[in-house]
Amino acid sequence: MSRAITAVFDDFKRRVQGSFDELNALVESHKLVLTGNLGRNPRQMASYFWLTSHSISGMDSTATIDVCETGFNSGHSAAFFLELDPNIRYHGWDLGEYTAAKPAAALLQKKYGDKRVNVVWGDAKKTVPAHLQATQTKCDIVSVDGEHTYEGALSDLQHFARALKNSTTALVLVDDCCDPGILKAFKQVTFKDRLIQWHSKVQFAPEDMPRDLVPVSRSICHCIGRYLSPDDTSRVHDPDAKHATVAPTPTPQPKKWWQWLS
């Protein structure tokens, strides 16, 4: 199994590197400014690949998969999602404060098509709820990597919690979760906003990810959770019982995390 997954990942990496090279060339030629991104951290990319691939593997192969992400920056994580599956539609939110952001969005729109890439500019605390409401966008996968503060992460997580497709168990990835403010927000939305925490502070790679997929590189630190779908009222269990919607017996945690996603 491991060799097959490695081959798929190697092929994916080649494709996504093509997009990273185009984005990096754009940044370089125009001396644009950008900040930290997925393209700079192979270990984080391997972890995200493992998680998102499993998450979408159970979905209808013809349905559109909506990825909602705060923090577009220079488009590297967007390119990652867009290369992952042709059915993925990317919805991004970003301040646009770095000069690379808008040209990078234009490049990705040209490459993948306007219908698959949309970035909303401005403060996500306001633009996420406004855009979700105006367009009725519903998310299958959520990635939080925008404002790196407690307030910013909390706002993103709470707004996305209200924009999920029925019958979807949405994967939630929160980057830089070792930041105390971000971790506090992640813990706060757990249960209350129907988010079930799977891992907090993944610093090496998700449990059960084949070790030969994990490149030796910089450390990573993200939180992983899933939102329960809006029509699922049976599995919300809050150990504190403070925010419990329904608290029957807790769902037994499966041994493999991808069983837990389905």
Residues in touch with ligand SAM (CB under 6 A) = 35-38, 70-71, 73, 76-77, 93-95, 97-98, 101, 123-125, 145-147, 152
Using the minimum distance from each CB to ligand SAM, give the nearer residue, 147 or 193. 147
| Closer residue to ligand SAM, CB minimum distance, 37 or 47 | 37
Q: How far is the CB of 121 from ligand SAM (least distance, A)?
A: 8
C-alpha to C-alpha distances, 101 to 10, 23, 237, 254, nearest whole angstrom: 27, 10, 40, 40
Q: Please report how close the Cβ of residue 74 comes to ligand SAM at its closest, in angstroms.
A: 6
Q: Minimum CB separation from ligand SAM for residue 75, in Å?
A: 6
**Shortest Å distance, C-beta 45 to ligand SAM:** 9
Say if CB 79 and CB 110 are below 8 A apart. Answer: no
Nearer to ligand SAM, 101 or 223 (CB): 101
Nearest distance, CB of residue 78 and ligand SAM, angstroms: 7
- Cβ proximity to ligand SAM: between 37 and 52 the closer is 37
Nearer to ligand SAM, 22 or 123 (CB): 123
Q: Which is nearer to ligand SAM, 101 or 171 (CB)?
A: 101
> In whole angstroms, how close is the CB of 149 to ligand SAM at the nearest point?
8
SS (H, E, C) the chain: CHHHHHHHHHHHHHHHHHHHHHHHHHHHHCCCCCCCCHHHCHHHHHHHHHHHHHHHHCCCCCCCEEEEEECCCCCHHHHHHHHHCCCEEEEEEECCCCCCHHHHHHHHHHHHCCCCEEEEECCHHHHHHHHHHHHCCCECEEEECCCCCHHHHHHHHHHHHCCECCCCCEEEEECCCCCHHHHHHHHHHECCCCEEEEEEEECCCCCCCCHHHCCCCCCCCEEEEEECCCCCCCCCCCCCCCCCCCCCCCCCCCCCHHHHHC
